[in-house]
């Protein structure tokens, strides 16, 4: 019986961040919206393939829906990517998914810049670049360079944390 409890405990611990924290904060989520669209709800980018404040592509939205469904959280269709409350939930959950993927792939704690770079260029692409921001496109490098300043600007916002966020 003790072995079973021990194994259950080890599985739970493996699901937690190695050093006890997530880089995905409300301020980080808002900074990503600022970088991706300058906060424009109806922004359409990447030749029409990305929409809304967080410029999410439909495949990323679908991945996030599966992530949320697996946790018993509500899901929405991609046409809701321009709804600020729903899109914020999805952006935060997608950033969390990326953070966890990076942590698993690198066996280390990712920085906000690395998580954002994965959001911007895609996890697979960033992984193929060795998780090296210096190897990304100039606009991704520039966005990563200003990310911490934007996060700092949003740190003291009065925004309430969104409800029903997925947990790791």
Q: Where are the domains of the chain?
A: 21-154
Q: Rounded distance, CA 94 to CA 62, Å? A: 10
Q: Which fold has domain 21-154?
A: Lysozyme (1.10.530)
In our burial notation (b when 16+ CB lie closer than 10 A, e otherwise), range 53-82 reads: bbbbbeebbebbbebbeeeebebbebebbb
pLDDT value, residue 54: 80
pLDDT of residue 35: 86
Residue 45, pLDDT score? 66
Give the bridge partners for 50, in sequence order.
45, 57
The three-state DSSP-derived secondary structure of 50-62 is EECCCCEEHHHHH
For residues 127-143, b (16+ Cβ closer than 10 Å) or e, as one string? eeeebebeebeeebeeb
The first and second tokens of residue 23, run together, are 């880089």
The token duo for 18 is: 């190695």
Strand ranges (E), 23-161: 44-45, 50-51, 56-57
Q: What is the pLDDT of residue 60?
A: 94
Q: Could you report the average pLDDT of every consecutive run of 10 residues in the chain (168 residues)? A: 37 42 93 83 66 82 96 95 93 97 97 96 96 96 94 72 47
Task: Find where tokens 């999805």 sit.
Answer: 90
pTM over 0.85, yes/no: no
């Amino acid at each position: 019986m003790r072995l079973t409890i021990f194994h259950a405990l080890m599985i739970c611990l493996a699901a937690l961040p190695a050093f006890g924290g997530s880089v995905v904060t409300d301020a980080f989520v808002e900074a990503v919206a600022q970088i991706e669209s300058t906060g424009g709800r109806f922004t359409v980018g990447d030749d029409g393939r990305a929409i809304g404040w967080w410029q999410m592509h439909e495949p990323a939205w679908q991945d996030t829906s599966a992530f949320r469904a697996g946790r018993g959280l509500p899901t929405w269709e991609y046409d809701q990517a321009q709804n600020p409350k729903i899109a914020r939930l999805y952006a935060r959950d997608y950033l969390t998914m990326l953070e966890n993927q990076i942590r698993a792939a690198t066996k280390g704690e990712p920085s906000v810049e690395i998580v954002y770079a994965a959001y911007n260029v895609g996890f697979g692409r960033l992984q193929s670049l060795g998780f090296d921001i210096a190897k990304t496109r100039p606009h991704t490098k520039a966005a990563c360079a200003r990310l911490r300043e934007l996060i700092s600007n949003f740190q003291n916002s009065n925004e309430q944390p969104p409800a029903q966020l997925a947990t790791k």
